[in-house]
Amino acid sequence: MPGLVLFGRRWAIGSDDFVLPGAFELFVRLVWWIGIFVLYTVHKGQFNCPGGGLLHSYLLGLIILLASIICALCALVYVSMQGTISNPGPRKSLPKILYTRLLLYFPEFIWAVVGAVWVSDNSVQCEKTVVNGVIGTVIASWIIIIFTIIGVVIVFDPLGGKKTFYLPEGVSRNLESSHSGQLLYNVKSSATRVWEKRIRLLCCCIVQDDDHRVAFTSIAELFRSYFSDTDLVPSDIAAGLILLHQEQDKMESCPKEPEEVLCHSPSSLVTDDLDVELENAAHYMLFAAAAYGWPYYVYTNPYTALCKLNGDCCRNRPTDSEIMGSDRHNFHFGSILKITGLQYRDFIHISFHNKIYEIPFFVALDHKKEAIVVAVRGTLSFEDILTDLSADCEDLTLEEVLENGFVHKGITQAANYIYGKLINDGILNQAFTIAPEYRLVIVGHSLGGGTASILAIMLRNSFPTLRCFAFSPPGGLLSKSLADYTKNFIISVIVGKDLVARLSMPNMEDLKRRIVRIVANCNRPKYQILLRGCWYEVFGGDPDDFPTELDGRNQDALTQPLLAEESLMVHRSPSYNALEEEPRLNSPPQYPHLYLPGKIIHVVEECSSKRLCSSDIKYTARWSNETVFSSILISPKMITDHMPDVVLKALNSLSQEHGSCLSCQTREYNPSAV
């Protein structure tokens, strides 16, 4: 629902967000009141000790104060339970109750100070039980006050005091609209500065230069434009994600999955090609995972990794390969050796240097596949996150390549950095001098997969036989023309409901539109959605069938936003452009559609519908297309499916299954057995 307006400003909390925290505080206050009442009743006639008069007044006042707070909390919780997310009418009296509750903090603060003074008075000689009870009361009072202050800081909206003003689309400016335009510009600038300060605070531990400042501004503008057109609080988004997940699970329980409609049944030739590519992907995923260095090795071997790495830390570094960047105790390089199984002499160049737009990579000789492998590391630092979030589009200009188009700006700059190292520093020339008959293979996971894909496009003309394996690359990477161009030499591997592979600005706009629609039209209170949703996520069961205002509407009516949806939109979002019957031809979309690179292999679990699958998980793989990843899927596995160890496990499982099938066929058709 729209953010709560209190003290003349908007707060990042809704009037229906006080049910659960209010109920918890109410429980604490009730237990507290009962304990103090029992303590006062039992020791009612025993306040003749030094300091007992003040103690008697303190306990009596505390009982009255707690009773008043309990009454205010009961009213607060009851009113907050009324209505729905998009119907705050039944909760219109909540601000008055909240003012009353906040006023009660002043006498509570005074009573906490009085109790602290009384406890610290050495002349008090009352019974020890009473003294301990007062000490507990004082501590509880200060804890609640501190947590309340923290809560106020969390829900404080820096832009809540700004007068937000937006001009409707299509309205021409007149002589009086210059002030409105200036006001709009000021609001946008303020929002951008707020986001920039937040990003700087999160990245306070890293050295900041001009590149960082440019990235901060670009990312702040991106967040400002995305969140500026909705009036949702964080709990609304959480409720929307819960509803979308349950709605999605209900759709998946249908006999046919959407992918089965989109993907044709593969022929035997295509199946054979898929098996070969899966075997290659399983092999090269080791290199992509190894690029993460010791964090990945310790994560996958938590009990033995440090012991094994400590055994190698005292060895001398290889003289045949060039190592750049910090690798204290040789842990990174030692982990790469352990994961890939290569020898020291097989590495041509290793870079652990990491800045914004400059990510680690290594170049090694893979004698098993007769390939020169360039492995690019994925996201592992704040600098990498800034590279990911620099999601503006820019043109990729390459000579002799007609399929130029839009690409992800941050990832393209990272690819330019590695390209300069490989070509200008002569790293690839050195590698091909050692192994001239080998082919070039570029691999990477996540950010590394996206960087490897753009790097492969840059090197394609110089190395026509190169291959690229992009594991879980970002979805918003290449324009349609470039994505089609890469189908001949790039293989993308996506596992399950991976979030990153579906991340693009159009998909995020679509997710925002779906959240607004399903939240605005659900006829259940938010606390019920959250409680039932948490139960469903933890324990499973059947998805709840929440009634909505969308039920019973025809398809034509579903193409227009309802009044409840419009109430949650500060101004018309770019995501609603697709809902207009006649979109403006002269207004380009705010966010161009970017796609996954190359041919796409989609790996899914056969038991993905269960909450707790056994350790023996079976996977299936199929060729897919970019339309399958045009929408973000909500699932508990949307993050874990992106992890490199999960991708490697899935590919190894498929590769081993394919190998066992081949051995079975070999034994079945063995001529000596006839």
Q: Identify the bridge partners of residue 395 per DSSP, sorted by sequence position.
A: 406
In angstroms, the Cα distances linking 632 to 250, 497, 628 are 16, 8, 10
Helix, strand, coil proportions of the chain in percent (round to 5)? Answer: 55, 10, 35
Does residue 434 contact residue 392 with C-beta atoms inside 8 Å?
Answer: no
CA angle, 648 then 642 then 284, to 5°: 30
446 in catalytic set: yes
Helices (H) and strands (E) in the chain, counts: 24, 13
* Close Cβ partners of 383 (under 8 Å, ≥ 6 residues apart): 206, 354, 355, 356, 358, 359
The DSSP H or E segment spanning 5 is strand 5-6
Q: Which of 16, 366, 388, 498 is catalytic?
A: 498
Whole-angstrom distance, CA of residue 674 vs CA of residue 666: 13
Whole-angstrom distance, CA of residue 443 vs CA of residue 346: 17
Q: Which amino acid is at 505?
A: M
Nearest residue to 517 via CA among 234, 247, 240: 240
- Write the secondary structure of 116-145 as one string of H (helix), E (strand) and C (coil): HHHHHCCCCCCCHHHHHHHHHHHHHHHHHH
Whole-angstrom distance, CA of residue 187 vs CA of residue 154: 22
The torsion of the CA quartet 274, 278, 280, 285, rounded to 10 degrees, works out to 150
Tell me the Ramachandran region of residue 400: left when phi exceeds 0, alpha when psi lies from -120 to 50, beta otherwise. Answer: left
Positive or negative, the CA dihedral 613, 614, 620, 626 is positive
Look-up of token digits 């002030």? 179
Q: Which amino acid is at 533?
A: G
CA angle, 665 then 614 then 646, to 5°: 75
Whole-angstrom distance, CA of residue 54 vs CA of residue 667: 93
Q: Which of 446, 492, 573, 655 is catalytic?
A: 446
Collapsed DSSP state (helix, strand, coil) of residue 13 = coil
- Write the secondary structure of 27-38 as one string of H (helix), E (strand) and C (coil): HHHHHHHHHHHH
Q: Which amino acid is at 500?
A: V
Whole-angstrom distance, CA of residue 641 vs CA of residue 653: 15
Q: Which residues are catalytic?
A: 446, 498
